[in-house]
Chains A and B, each alone.
Chain A
């Protein structure tokens, strides 16, 4: 049997060659990084905010590297912060309605209002967004928003039917209505369907019972409860023909991928999700985080936010909107972000058809979550 030992000169050197080769291959991406040693910024956010399509430009220009930790749902976010030592997160993206709790618990730093472009906001209300100010001090900066309403498959539900939450009860979609697996937006929609309008989060015992009853009546129609990935999959391959608790932030991505889905704000009203950046308490990188927040509010940042691959949002500054129309008119048209269009989100807000998402007033989040488990088991 001829020995193969001489293939690389000697058996020993072949093994060495393999080891060195593997080590080099495994360390290649580190070589370029080692020279630069960028500052790491720990981010706590919804999925997608730390991805290259949003932050790569800022990272390159400022020699930083974002380390995102993603959550799903404001209460999830609070839990994550509560369990980590102060200073774990440098920048926190919070749902608008949770900023108050972040502040009350002392997790965020005060911001200097002069640093941010308040006069560039599209809507006056955004400059004094509820919960972001306390005793005249600013704690959080709104950067984007979006609307939640009826999300549907255009082949199964017509545009007129979609103008009311009633379409979820349509017999033709029995077993094909999905829920995003978070109680807050779905129960908010049920509350709007019950006609609670602007008081949708402030439910007396009677109204809360009514909302629970309405929700339970939808149970026979429900096909499943899905997380972020499951929601995308179900709508894309037609397993679900309608989805409760989401909006264009999901269907926008699918539409771009060619799926026959869409979202509208129905006549009973829609819900606005708002995302705001805060500086984590105890961080040592407050300056660079401030710079990042300013970047996200600049025209480039607003366009990046509107075009975010994970899920799109509305530009909230005039310069942002103008730049979006310039570089991506198709997207601006699709989402109505052109002054004068019928479904201009700012117009909808001004008309009162949109209600900011909030946490329940007379019940606790725990009560609503408890009912959510009950609903799943019904």
Chain B
């Protein structure tokens, strides 16, 4: 593989750009989870933990978390089970 320096750096920069595209929405939602405004707009409001508090105190959220934790391993096992069978030397 010929070592083309400018090409390599261009590709690294491009990769960084692509990762920015992928992670920008995630980063923004984390930032706005600490924002005081109810709707996400810029400029930002003030820093607050109130949304985290609201979610922590909501029993419906805990109920949903419990459901997710119990259901998803079951469905994961069901879908992996046939694959595991195939890997069995038989």
- Chain A residues in the interface with B (C-beta under 8 A): 26-30, 33, 232-233, 236-237, 257
Contact = CB atoms under 8 A, between A and B. Distances in A.
Contacts of A33: 59
A237 B39 contact: yes
Contacts of B18: none
B38 interface: yes
B11 to A, nearest CB: 36
Given A27-B62, A257-B39, 9 more contacts: A26-B62, A26-B65, A28-B62, A29-B57, A29-B58, A29-B62, A233-B39, A236-B41, A237-B39
Contacts of A26: 62, 65-66
Contacts of B57: 29
Given A29-B57, A30-B59, A237 B65 contact: no
Nearest to B41: A237
A33 B57 CA distance: 12
Nearest to A68: B60
Nearest to A233: B39
A29 B38 CA distance: 25
A39 to B, nearest CB: 15
A51 to B, nearest CB: 11
Q: Among the interface residues B38, B39, B58, B65, which one has the most CB atoms of the partner chain A within 10 A?
A: B39
Nearest to B57: A29
A240 to B, nearest CB: 13
Interface in B15-42: 37-41
List 3 tightest A-B contacts by C-beta distance, closest first: A29-B59, A236-B39, A237-B41
A257 B58 CA distance: 24
A360 to B, nearest CB: 34
Interface in B49-78: 57-59, 62, 65-66
A257 B65 contact: no
A232 B39 CA distance: 8
A233 B40 CA distance: 8
A232 to B, nearest CB: 6
A29 B59 CA distance: 6
A104 to B, nearest CB: 34
Nearest to B56: A29
A30 B57 CA distance: 11
22 contacts: A26-B62, A26-B65, A26-B66, A27-B62, A28-B62, A29-B57, A29-B58, A29-B59, A29-B62, A30-B59, A30-B62, A33-B59, A232-B39, A233-B39, A233-B40, A236-B39, A236-B41, A237-B39, A237-B41, A257-B37, A257-B38, A257-B39
A237 B44 CA distance: 12
Contacts of A236: 39, 41
B64 to A, nearest CB: 12
A205 to B, nearest CB: 43
A199 B41 CA distance: 41
A220 B79 CA distance: 48
A178 B67 CA distance: 38
Contacts of B62: 26-30
B12 to A, nearest CB: 35
A137 B87 CA distance: 69
B66 to A, nearest CB: 6
B29 to A, nearest CB: 14
A30 B63 CA distance: 9
B36 to A, nearest CB: 11
A237 B38 CA distance: 12
Contacts of B40: 233
A232 B37 CA distance: 13
Nearest to A27: B62
Contacts of B59: 29-30, 33
A271 B64 CA distance: 38
B35 to A, nearest CB: 12
Contacts of A257: 37-39
B58 to A, nearest CB: 8
Nearest to B37: A257
Nearest to A29: B59
A233 B38 CA distance: 10
B4 to A, nearest CB: 44
B63 to A, nearest CB: 9
A184 to B, nearest CB: 26
A236 B41 CA distance: 8
Contacts of A28: 62
